[in-house]
Structure 1
Amino acid sequence: MKISINQAAKYEGQQVTIGCWLLQKRGSGKIQFLQLRDGTGFMQGIVVKENDADLFEKAKGLTQETSMYVSGTIKADDRSDFGYEMEVDGIEVIHASEGYPITPKAHGPEFLMDNRHLWLRSKKQHAVMNIRNQIIKSTHDFFFENGYKKIDPPILTSSSPEGTTELFHTKYFDEDAYLSQSGQLYAEAAAMAHGKVFSFGPTFRAEKSKTRRHLIEFWMIEPEMAFYKHEDSLEVQEQYVEYLVQQVLEHCRLDLGILDRDTSVLEKIRAPFPRITYTEAVELLQEKGFDDIEWGEDFGAPHETEIANHFDKPVFITNYPKEIKSFYMEENPEDPRTVLCADLIAPEGYGEIIGGSERIHDYDTLKQKIEESGLGLEAYEWYLDLRRYGSVPHSGFGLGLERTVAWLSGVQHVRETAPFPRLLNRLYP
């Protein structure tokens, strides 16, 4: 009977066959321990010489990443985190791998990134992708269960939602076009049709940054909600992030263990999250000796980390100055210098994972903001239509998938959180 490794518990004591690869092996003169992987998990196979000398010699000659069918009996194994192993009585080699470049010794990050197509096979990278997959599944579950509809904004756009020059330009036949920075504006249009929506897709930033938090291509989850004020949106963000964390804890314990993730930190992630205004954050930083920050300036990674260190869970920084935020954000009535927005900062130095705001819903105000930003009204006529015809208060946010994966898995660089990351000066493989 052919099974996968993740089904082993159902077949304890039974004879089965698994299609797999040899991750690595170790052994002695009497026994070979084969570390097997099949894409669903990792399991040890045991080959004992006194049971079958020919099979033992065959196992002894296996090379790293050789593909094969391995047959044997599933046994419980309390010493293993997985809980089961196979007593092997048959090996059928499919393809003998020779000279596999990623050996068990240590390798530098550039070498590993050059071989990303193979590095994905490693135990830790497999665990990171499992966590990413769970976050993707849990995202769909959360929004579908709460009455949201998924919409798919275009990747090719004629304008910039963020109003920056960090755009990838291309030609759309005889017109200028850009790779999308965000699906937000289109999600707003869909919210006016469906009430509550979310998009989940790739976004691109031509930002020449080499920090551990930045990718050129990354995935964003972007809900938009009609009739939701800023405070309503913050509550959704809290519920969503808490849900993601608890789902990863429930379904990815083995993966978190492989990554040596301190789960006690994640277990404390429960709503509500603490909040601090931008103004309070500046004062706090200045008290902590950050003389480089003044009111009106944006925060960098050291500033966000210092703020996050005061809390044992994610923290909202609210009401940023309007000059450093996007044109579409609603003015804060209690302080016209600021807007109704918030960034959610993850603990442990992982930085901003969510940016959100209440959107301007007044036609004249939005038109003025577009003009002041120098964006040109023509490209935004359709966006202004949303304010011409039945405008309502509405809010939304965007969560960066890769930064969230990095935080929950505990890896230090976002390059490990995308299957094939696109970084500055890296387009291969």
Structure 2
Amino acid sequence: MKTTITEVAKHVGEEVTIGAWLSNKRSSGKIAFLQLRDGTGFMQGIVVKADIGEEKFQEAKALTQESSLYVTGVIVEDTRSPLGFEMQVNDFEIIHEAVDYPITPKEHGTEFLMDHRHLWLRSKRQHAVMKVRNEIIRATYEFFNENGYVKIDPPILTGSSAEGTTELFHTKYFEEDAYLSQSGQLYMEAAAMAFGRVFSFGPTFRAEKSKTRRHLIEFWMIEPEMAFMDHEDSLEVQEQYVSHVVQSVLNNCKIELEALGRDTEKLEKVKAPFPRISYDDAIQMVKEKGFDDIEWGDDFGAPHETAIAESYDKPVFITNYPAEIKAFYMKPDPKRSEVVLCADLIAPEGYGEIIGGSQRIDDLELMKQRYEEHDLTGDAYKWYLQLREYGSVPHSGFGLGLERTVAWIAGVEHVRETIPFPRLLNRLYP
């Protein structure tokens, strides 16, 4: 019977066959220990010379790293293994013998590993990170589907910027200028006016020449948009969504979190509601922590966000930023026009901003004023203005950066490990 490593719990005491690769091995006298992986997980296979015969045992000892094979044996419980099971091997068939696999158990430099990313993904650590990423994606669809959201796919090629910035990748769309999307938000606002509650999940691109551990050139965003929702409603959705994702990873990725050495006690505290502080209070907080150079009206950098997060054991919302440092479409606070109804969600443990969100301007005349202030009077934004002309309603939305969220939940230092094939400032290979 063929099965997979994740399914072996159903076959204790039975003989099964698994297609696998040899990630590592060691031998001790008359026993060989094969570290097997099949894409679903990792498991140890025990080869005993007395059971398998001299010829087959020597063949097992000669197996090379990353050779592929069919392994047949009986599944037994093993409490010492993270999986809880191992295989007593009684036969195997080599499919392909790998020779001189470049990533050995010794230490390798980051650049070497990035050059071999197509192979590095096979390692136990990278496998665990990708499984956490997959669970976050699964839990995302689960949360929004269960709460009545419709998935809408915004275009990747656009004729304008979502936030009016210049950090865009330019291309030619036949005779027209086009750009790779930096956010699907504007299109999701249109979708919300048609479907009420929507979300998108797709790649975005920022031509930002940054080399920090938090930045990628190509990354994935989850962007919900909600009609008839104000800023406070949106904050509640955000904290419920993040709580759901974290708890789903805790419940479904125990083996992966253990492989990553993640302190799960910190993640267990991530349950709604989350603390909230105003931008004004956040400025005062970082000043008190020794950042004398920051003034009201400045945006927070990574050190400031880390300093703020240190005071909390949950993600924290920083609300009501100055209008001057936020996007043109954010709704001013009715009680205080110099700040907008927005929030950034800062992850604990120094992982920085994972969500940016706001209530959007729904007043036609105010949006026209913003167009003039930001020189958005061309045809490219005409359709966006029309959303305020025909049945405008209060609406809010946010965007969560997947890779930063994976880094935080998995406890990985650099976002380059949180996406299968990272695109960095100086890396377009493999």
TM-score interval (norm. to shorter): over 0.9
User: Which residue identity lines up with residue 14 of structure 2 in the other structure?
Assistant: Q
Alignment partners' CA distance in 1, 2:196 and 2:421: 35
What residue in structure 2 maps to residue 131 of structure 1? 132
Partner of 2:252: 251
**Matches of 1:371 and 1:100 in 2, distance apart?**
60
Equivalent residue number for residue 40 of structure 1:
40
Task: Look up the match of 1:147.
Answer: 148
What residue is the counterpart of 2:409 in the other structure?
408
Q: Deviations over 1:101-145 (max 9, x none)?
A: 000001111110000000000001000000000010110010010
Determine helix, strand or coil for the equivalent of 1:355. Answer: strand
Distance 1:288 1:402 in 2: 28
Deviation, structure 1 residue 377: 3.4
1:78 Cα deviation (Å)? 1.1
TM-score, normalising length from structure 2? 0.99
| SS across alignment from 2:427 | coil
Q: Distance in 1 between matches of 2:408 and 2:197?
A: 27
User: For 2:162, what is the secondary structure of its paired residue?
Assistant: coil
Matched residue of 2:119: which SS? helix
Please, what is the CA RMSD of the aligned residues?
0.6
Q: Deviations over 1:152-202 (max 9, x none)?
A: 000000000111000000000000000000000000000000000001100
- 2:26 aligns to what? 26
Alpha-carbon distance between aligned partners in 1 of 2:285 and 2:10, rounded to the nearest angstrom: 55
Structure 1 residue aligned with 2:387:
386
Q: Which moved more, 1:303-312 or 1:47-56?
A: 47-56
Unaligned runs of 5+ in 1: none
Q: Which amino acid aligns with 1:12?
A: V
1:74-108 Cα deviation digits (max 9, x unpaired): 11111111011011111100000001000000111
Which residue is 1:213 aligned to?
Answer: 214
SS at 1:296's partner residue? coil
Q: Is the 8 A contact 1:55 1:89 kept in 2?
A: no
1:57 aligns with 58
- SS of residue matched to 2:332: coil
Q: Residue type matched to 2:255 in 1?
A: L
Give the SS at the match of 1:260: coil
Q: How far is 1:264 from its partner? A: 0.1
Could you tell me how far apart the structure 2 residues matched to 1:287 and 1:246 are?
34
Deviation at 1:336, TM superposition (A): 1.2
After TM superposition, the structure 1 = structure 2 runs for residues 134-283 of structure 1, keeping only pairs within 5 Å, are 134-283=135-284
Distance in 2 of aligned mates of 1:376 and 1:72: 70
1:262-294 Cα offsets, whole Å, 9 max, x none, are 000000011110001111100111111101110
Match of 1:118 in 2: 119
Matches within 5 A, 1:328-407: 328-407=329-408
Query: Which shifted more, 333-342 or 383-392?
Result: 333-342
Which residue pairs with 1:16 in the alignment? 16
Q: CA offset at residue 379 of structure 1?
A: 1.0
| 153-162 or 46-55, which deviates more | 46-55
Give the Å deviation of 1:376: 3.1
Q: Give me the whole-angstrom Cα distance separating, in 2, the residues matched to 1:277 and 1:377.
A: 35
Q: Deviations over 1:301-320 (max 9, x none)?
A: 00000000000000000000
SS in 2 for 1:336: strand
| Contact 1:354–1:400 (CA under 8 A) maintained in structure 2 | yes
Q: Is the 8 A contact 1:370 1:377 kept in 2?
A: no
Aligned partner of residue 199 in structure 2, secondary structure: strand
Q: How does 1:274-353 map to 2 (within 5 A)?
A: 274-353=275-354
1:5-38 CA distance string (max 9 Å, x none): 1110111111111000000001122110000000
Give TM-score, length-normalised by structure 1. Answer: 0.99
1:386-406 per-position Cα deviation (integer Å, ceiling 9, x unaligned) = 000000000000000000000
One-letter amino acid of the counterpart of residue 33, structure 2: F
Paired with 2:104 and 2:230, the residues of 1 have a C-alpha distance of: 54
Secondary structure (helix, strand or coil) at the match of 2:220 reads strand
Residue aligned with 2:34, SS: strand
Q: Give, as a single letter, the amino acid of the residue that structure 1 aligns with 2:158.
A: T
How far is 1:375 from its partner? 2.8
State the alpha-carbon separation in 2 of the partners of residues 47 and 61 from structure 1: 12
| Cα drift, residue 421 of structure 1 | 0.6
Q: 1:371: how far off? A: 1.6
Question: What SS class does the counterpart of residue 121 from structure 1 fall into?
Answer: coil
Identity among equivalent pairs (%): 72
